[in-house]
Amino acid sequence: YFDYYRLCKSYNDLALLKNYEERKMGYGDGSGNVVYKNFMYFNYCGTSDMAKMDLSSNTLVLWRLLPGATYNNRFSYAGVPWKDLDFAGDEKGLWVLYATEESKGNLVVSRLNASTLEVEKTWRTSQYKPALSGAFMACGVLYALHSLNTHQEEIFYAFDTTTGQERRLSILLDKMLEKLQGINYCPSDHKPYVFSDGYLINYDLTFLTMKTRLPRPPTRRPSGAHAPPKPVKPNEASRP
């Protein structure tokens, strides 16, 4: 159950577990919650309901059924039990990632009205949710991960909700320990944050739309020769 939560004033306070306020709620399920515009969104315990809490008053202000969504640990991510509804917030709005019986366990993405929790639009992907270690939204694009080994994850799949196009990727992310309990993108600093067995890690990545290409750096290489791409590496790791 998701019974308690802590509010920290900064990332450093979170990493050092200081200057926080702990609150009890008592009716959350799983670890798929997200904070978006001073409200926290989560899966209401034992149901396929979405819930909205006002963080300023620690008050449940709204809950609504997510049509067709499975719950009670049905189609959760690999190695992460009870994460039936996985909420996300980015520059394009509030999202929920989940699976349905109709999708046969494949990941489904819905954009939500943050005020009413009504589903505005839904997309279905080709990825089986229990085979993924996690997923997140950035700039309206869904990114999915799977585990390569005990110390490395791969962002291997992207689905652009603007164009409906899906794409294979290979972005490697180092992790401190084997399990990845959660990954979320923060639109204020444009970084993904990962929680891995007690370690909180952020990654210095640049997110672009699928039609955008990074400018090619100046080079004096002979005609026809190209510089190899730079590897993506995490820039910070800290243990609470």
d(C-alpha 50, C-alpha 82), whole Å = 14
d(C-alpha 60, C-alpha 182), whole Å = 23
d(C-alpha 43, C-alpha 29), whole Å = 5
Q: What is the pLDDT of residues 9-67, one digit of tens each?
A: 888 888 788 899 999 887 888 889 999 999 999 999 999 999 999 999 999 999 999 99
d(C-alpha 2, C-alpha 159), whole Å = 29
Q: Among residues 182, 146, 175, 133, which one has the least CA distance to residue 30?
A: 182
Quick check: helix, strand or coil at residue 209? coil
d(C-alpha 44, C-alpha 51), whole Å = 6
Q: What is the pLDDT of residues 100-155, one digit of tens each?
A: 999 999 999 999 999 999 999 999 999 999 999 999 999 999 999 999 999 899 99
Q: Among residues 97, 167, 94, which one has the least CA distance to residue 132?
A: 97
